Amino acid sequence: MEKVAGRLIFPLDVADLSEARRWVRRLRGLVGVFKVGLELFTAVGPAAVEMVREEAGAEVFLDLKLNDIPATVAGAVRSASRIGADMLTVHMLAGRWAVREAARAAEGGLKILAVTLLTSLSRADLMEVGYSPELSRDLEEAALRLASLAYRCGVHGVVCSAKEVARIKEAFPHLMTVVPGVRPDWLEESLADDQKRIASPGEAIRAGADYLVVGRPIRESRDPRAVAERILAEMAEAFSERFRT
């Protein structure tokens, strides 16, 4: 279970360092990676990374989805390396040169993850922002194209939904795959949600996910530790099945 815990990412989607610290203390020992996103990082900056280290000794996934000109992205990556982040996201829509510079700028073991398509987006959303009808109809193909470009840019991994991870993993088995939008099908509570392309923990792992990002199912449950433990058990079983075949 301890090894599987290292593959479970919990997002600290709060704007207050004290509240983030409470969640880290509540879940330490069960969660191996804590995600610091835009909300918390904008509020408190590098202090969030330091807090996770001090409270849990866990890895930090800095999910900033960098999307800017190459020089600015590279500078942000170097800064993330200096504050001790373990993973950092850059958006593929920043283009080849920005993503390539991000990969080149990473230091000290920082892993660069390229975001393909946000799991909150539907086909209609993509068409609205200008995606071709062909790609909008086939989200797997769109994500695969972005993953292919990410691979050529030299990143360590990609962020994608469980619906696209199988094709990406098959084409690029050495790319680390991080999958958000994970919702246990055994959870009784109904969740107000903006995720559209979702899967259960077992489905995502069996499809090829290496890491799962699970937030609301844990955070909004009556017993967060119990839910995390059950998710870990489902992940462990799925990993066992995947590597047995």
Residues 121-174 pLDDT 10s: 777 877 787 777 766 677 888 889 999 999 999 999 999 999 999 999 999 999
Check residue 242 and give its pLDDT. Answer: 86
CATH number for the domain running over 2-244? 3.20.20.70
The residues, ordered by sequence, that sit 6+ positions from 205 with a Cβ below 8 Å of its Cβ are: 212, 235, 238, 239, 242
Check residue 238 and give its pLDDT. Answer: 95
Backbone angles phi, psi at 125, to 5 degrees: -60, -45
**Domain locations in the chain as residue ranges:** 2-244
Residue 192: both structure tokens together: 């107000």
Residue 112: both structure tokens together: 């660069």
Per-residue pLDDT of 54-76, as tens digits, reads 999 999 999 999 999 999 999 99
229 and 51 Cβ atoms separated by less than 8 Å: no
Q: Give 193's DSSP letter.
A: -
Q: Give the SS3 label for residue 154.
A: coil
Binning pLDDT at 50, 70 and 90, where does residue 192 land?
very low
Residue 95 has pLDDT above 80, yes or no: yes
Q: For the chain, what is the mean pLDDT?
A: 91
Sign of the Cα torsion 30, 35, 10, 237 reads negative
> Distance between CA atoms of 191 and 35, rounded to whole angstroms?
20
- Give the residue numbers marked as catalytic: 65
This prediction has a pTM of 0.91
